[in-house]
Amino acid sequence: MLNTIMKVLNSGVFFFAAVLVAFTGAAQVGGIPQYDSSKISYRGNIIEFSTGEMADTTMMTDETTGEEKMLITAKEPHPILLNGEKIYSQEELYEADTTEGIPIRMPVLGSTMLKEYLLNNMEKEIAQLADGDYLIAISNIITNKAGAVVYFKLDGITQTVTNESGVPFSVTIDEELKDRFEDKIGELLTDVPQYPPATYDGKPVNCIIDNIAFQKSFHVEDKKTIVR
């Protein structure tokens, strides 16, 4: 069920027009998220996403013609409100502390700790992987004012291989094994131990934690994990 939930969350949900056609008015059954425009209802919480400017524009000079061209990069909507209250980014907290002298505290739970928690609790699943490097793609990890993980975007697990030219690229793993990993990751992420939350001006706040650790692969050798 968790795997089904996270697949629904991540299968193009942010293309709001298409999502509305498919999901508007649908009842929430068995914990499946209910979508309403830029909102997601998940496990009793409502997460709202940005709907403003959806692209970055940059002027670049064409090296061949010397003419300036506009490069448009699509921006994926990001979480901004949890149950109507602001979700702070770690960057916001850091900048407020250093530039405005506001007493803040970063959330104790970070992506490195979260990645270690997952890998330490997936020994059975990891033992089924062939030797090699793997990436777990997780983003939009939100902790609430109590320090609990209340939402995350899971894009699954892939193996990183290198071609003959030395260029690394990702390949999918066996579908059945991938499903087992996603089910287990979803299960673990919904039961992460609570840690002290982020604070802003001395008060607990919702926070989206970075996913830096998940941008680095972990290595499997002899059915065991070596974290990088």
- Reference 107, options 198, 227, 23; nearest CA is 198
Q: Side chain identity at 42, as an amino acid letter? A: Y
Provide the b/e sequence for 51-61 (b: ≥16 CB within 10 Å).
Answer: eeeeeeeeeee
**Is this model's pTM higher than 0.75 or not?**
no
Average pLDDT over residues 42-60: 76
pLDDT digits (tens, 9 = 90+) for 68-83: 766 655 567 889 999 9
Q: pLDDT digits over 105-158, tens only? A: 999 999 999 999 999 999 999 999 999 999 999 999 999 999 999 999 988 899
Per the structure, the complete domain to which residue 98 belongs is given by 2-227
Lowest-pLDDT range, 16-25, 103-112, 123-132, 213-222? 16-25
Q: How many domains does the chain have?
A: 1
